[in-house]
Structure 1
Amino acid sequence: MTGSDPKADLHRYLQVARAAMLWKLDGLSEYDSRRPLTPTGTNLLGLVKHLASVELGYFGETFGRPSDEPLPWFEDDAEPDADLWATAAESREQIIDLYHRAWAHSDATVEALALDAPGRVPHWPAPRNEVTLHQILVHMIAETHRHAGHADIVRELIDGAAGLRKDNDNMAPGDQERWRNHRDRLERVAQEAGRSAAVLPS
């Protein structure tokens, strides 16, 4: 059995999720990359913008290592959720470049500090705001994978593309007809279950 490097393991899981986020933008136009596809406006480029921004904070200010990146959408006078969508003046390439710069800044913090290095998250309430690098790595892994799940659904709604990552989609084999039949079957099952529930005595 080989040994394990906990910091390297954590960083690998974070990087897998980062790469998945950007893969979901592959081949999309400026329009499709920012289309709001839920009632609350969830969109792919906004998710990437958000993740870039919070990485810069969690691996930056938290450990006294702020970046030089201007983040006007986090200013006190910014509108709510300004980090969750890209303006027409913010190109897809600009947001992706910001995410890559955030990775570099975060990775430098991870490289420089021990897992038990202390930090403080300014916007978390005390005493929960006193953290370690280990906690922040776990937090960002969870947050990035959560948003990667959002991105999976949004991308499938845009053009039907689905899967875990470019080199391993982790999907059952089948063409569009197989998936259409599968979805239709699930719809029939849902309707049947709904009818059965409606006739059950209360």
Structure 2
Amino acid sequence: MSIEQILKDRSGNQCELSGSSDDLVVYAVPPVDGQSADRAILISQELHEQINGEQLDPNLWRGLNDAMWSQEPPVQVMAWRMLKRLTKQGETWAQDLLDMLYLDDALVTWAESGLVEEEQQVIQRDNNGVKLEAGDNVVLIKDLDVKGTSFTAKRGTPVRGISLTDNPDHIEGRVNGVRIVILTKFVKKQ
């Protein structure tokens, strides 16, 4: 029997996090040690897209109120992870649910192992909050004095093919042929 069929039987052909029965997909709960129904859940496509997104729509995750009580370990782990992310977004209802949720030590370790990668990732954002990627083109939104040079980078100057740094507030780029560090709050993605 396929993993998808096992998950459909286990969940009653419904999303294990929301209860929806529309557009269901298999999601392997990271970290994945091979294909197994014991490490996967059946979720709606809508939630699947949200899992890897930066901002969660809290209304789509209200089903976690029921899902957190599931007896299936991968459902419990994903409920914990998503409640944790919603709490970071300031959702007080998610914190209340997280406070009630009990996971044994092995499940907490599994749940936390998926969050470590997210927390360690540095994300740079421009002055509008848009995520910046290596190679993006940005425009300066303020005149900037460039230390160590005799010129000022003028507002409106394009900076092409930026590089990211380990600091979420800094990017690197070339202005007038000089490679400089620029504060992300002074750029706008093109």
**TM-score using structure 1 length:** 0.19
Structure with greater Cα Rg = 2
Q: Which has the higher helix share?
A: 1
